[in-house]
A and B are shown apart, each in its own frame.
Chain A
Amino acid sequence: MSTIFGIPTPALYGQILIGLINGSFYAMLSLGLAVIFGLLRVINFAHGAQYMLGAFAAYLLLNWLGINYWLALVLAPLVVGVIAVVIERTMLSRLYGIDPLYGLLLTFGLALILEGAFRYWFGAAGQPYAAPSQLSGGVNLGFMYLPIYRGWVVIASLVICIGTWLLIEKTRLGAYLRAATENATLVQAFGVNVPLLLTLTYGLGAALAALAGVLAAPIYQVSPLMGSNLIIIVFAVVVVGGMGSILGAIVTGYVLGVLEGLTKVFYPEASSIVIFVVMAIVLLVRPAGLFGREE
């Protein structure tokens, strides 16, 4: 068996793959956070809960209504997006213009409600969600064995990230969004319905989180705690990348995921804290984040 630095290569590739998968979720979630923060100036603490909600929506759609994975991939983000729109209209929108910390506290409260309610109904243990038959099994790539579903998640997340980036950088809607991020009052004066834009952005961000949740359901178990465990790491990712740039959020997500995977191979004890250590170093060297701008 071939080795690199005394580590058998299949183990190394295996951990890199796991790192890429984790990185996919870091990227998708920090992307959503960055989009929401860019326009609303709100750190959406409920992002983890919305991710969990997406996974549960897929699970419940399958078990209650017999709706399969592919439809859930569309329906779950839609449902969560609509819930998010209601939240934005009824609650978040009242907090614009005051200290942004209140937005953080509100969404934190919402996250607790969602997590607590699901824990009450389903218990803290995870529920299994089978990958669709089309994506089960695996292929031998010669140097490693690749479960098809995991390959699919990496590709799907790349498509989602690039798609969102294109939506924001290359379309008219994206141009409005970027303009409103720079100067909302001016954009409103030009006749763009900025409140609607804010609502849509929050809905879109939450839908992205839910989509990530559906993708995650077959890999990690569907559990009420899956969101809060992840969101804190994503916060660290966001601090490292800086929230000024969409592309920065995506790249940082993947890189830190892979770095975490590699740490698992070379120094497993540190794998759960490596991202936080990177964050501390970045804060020392470049406080605004790798892709961020000083404000």
Chain B
Amino acid sequence: MAVGTEYLAEQPRLRTSAIVLGAVAIAALLAAPFFFYPVLLMSILCFALFACAFNLLIGYVGLLSFGHAAFFGGAAYFTAHAAKVWEWEPLAAILLGVAGAAVMGLVMGFLAIRRQGIYFAMITLALSQMFAFICLQVPFTHGEDGIQGVPRGYLLGIVDLNQPLAMYYLTLAIFLFGFFAIWRIVHSPFGNILKAIRENERRAISLGYRVDRYKLGAFVMSAALAGLAGSTKAIVFQFATLTDVQWQMSGEVILMTLLGGIGTLVGPIVGASLVIALQNYLAASDFPVLVLIGIIFVICVLLFRRGIVGEILELMKRRSKGAA
């Protein structure tokens, strides 16, 4: 269900402009906290990374996970607990969250890849719901209250993360690290095999690839990166609650990716920015956000399944074909 993402790589002229665009974007991100509210920016960065991690699975392996909230919210809980109760250094707490999400990804992925397509979606949804129930009951998550008042602490014992700028640049660094990791995965031989599985699983099997191992590997990576986003969010916002593990969150990340463009590298970032900005804008009004999210879902599915970035890429492709 993805769009031709290799398109950019095929066109040297576009590739240079992509690099220039990337540099401009990074410069803009570095300057952004001087113009915008840093907390909103950090929220966008966390969710953009979450959506990119989710997109790794749907866009490049063709697996729709309806349970990514478990990794995002689960990692947030682990990190919050480590930072607050064990008083770990923030980066170590984040790494623990990532490791926890990876282990959960291994378990959930092992079960879910036994079925394909629509069943995969239902199984991941059910397993994440089970995790949400567990989070409601086990003592360390503090049930409905969640873990509140998580200290941001000192990065490596030196940098005070209570300063908004320090926190922002750490979040940005984590986001760029995650995005680069995904870019590397997608453009590696491993990533090419994933795309082969997406395009024709049976053929990939007949070519001798152990498809299940690749799928599981991608699932664990996606879970770990989603966990990275959740852990960072826990440090930024200083809490971890049930909201992050519930199915609505899985739905939200699907929407961000769908809106931006499934299978495009930057699509999820665009989608996440729009959805978070919209939620932020609507927070003051009493308009039901859920209804709006539902409407965007319906419109995306019916009218532009490629997403915003996907449609733009398609347009550029058609235009350059027309010129040739």
Contacts and interface: CB of A to CB of B under 8 A. Distances in A.
A223 B130 CA distance: 22
Given A116-B288, A272-B133, A283-B111, A106 B297 contact: yes
Contacts of A14: none
B295 to A, nearest CB: 6
Contact of A287 (B115, B122, B134, B258): B115
A104 interface: yes
Given A101-B1, A116-B288, A232-B247, A273 B301 contact: no
A273 B130 contact: yes
Interface string B268-292: 0000000000000000000011111
A283 B129 CA distance: 16
Contacts of B254: 105, 108
Interface in A66-121: 91, 94-95, 98-102, 104-106, 108-117, 119-120
Given A232-B247, A269-B137, A109 B294 contact: yes
A276 B127 contact: yes
B301 A100 contact: no
A294 to B, nearest CB: 10
Given A43-B122, A119-B290, A235-B122, A105 B301 contact: yes
B112 to A, nearest CB: 8
B159 interface: no
Contact of B126 (A95, A99, A104, A236): A236
B42 interface: no
A238 B64 contact: no
B121 interface: yes
A108 B291 contact: no
B251 interface: yes
Contacts of B288: 116-117, 119-120
A170 B301 CA distance: 37
Given A104-B118, A112-B251, A120 B130 contact: no
Contacts of B127: 276, 279-280
Residue of B130, B290, B291, B301 with highest tally of chain A CB at under 10 A: B301
Contacts of B294: 109-116
Contacts of A269: 137
Nearest to B291: A116
A119 B287 CA distance: 11
Interface in B114-141: 114-115, 117-119, 121-123, 125-127, 129-130, 133-134, 136-137
Nearest to A41: B118
A152 B59 CA distance: 48
Interface in A207-260: 228, 232-233, 235-236, 238-239
Nearest to B290: A116
Contacts of A273: 130, 133-134
Contacts of A167: none
B290 A115 contact: yes
A72 B192 CA distance: 56
A269 B1 CA distance: 40
A139 interface: no
A11 interface: no
B19 interface: no
B293 interface: yes
Contact of B118 (A91, A100, A112, A117): A100
A112 B117 contact: no
Interface of B: 1, 64, 111-112, 114-115, 117-119, 121-123, 125-127, 129-130, 133-134, 136-137, 247, 251, 254, 258, 288-298, 300-302, 305
Return the 3 tightest CB-CB contacts between A and B, nearest first.
A109-B297, A116-B290, A112-B294
Given A116-B288, A232-B129, 17 more contacts: A43-B122, A91-B302, A95-B301, A99-B1, A100-B118, A101-B117, A101-B118, A108-B251, A109-B298, A109-B301, A112-B297, A228-B247, A235-B122, A273-B134, A276-B130, A283-B114, A283-B123
20 contacts: A43-B122, A91-B302, A99-B1, A100-B118, A104-B121, A105-B301, A106-B297, A106-B302, A109-B297, A112-B293, A114-B294, A117-B291, A232-B129, A233-B126, A239-B123, A272-B137, A276-B126, A277-B130, A287-B114, A287-B115
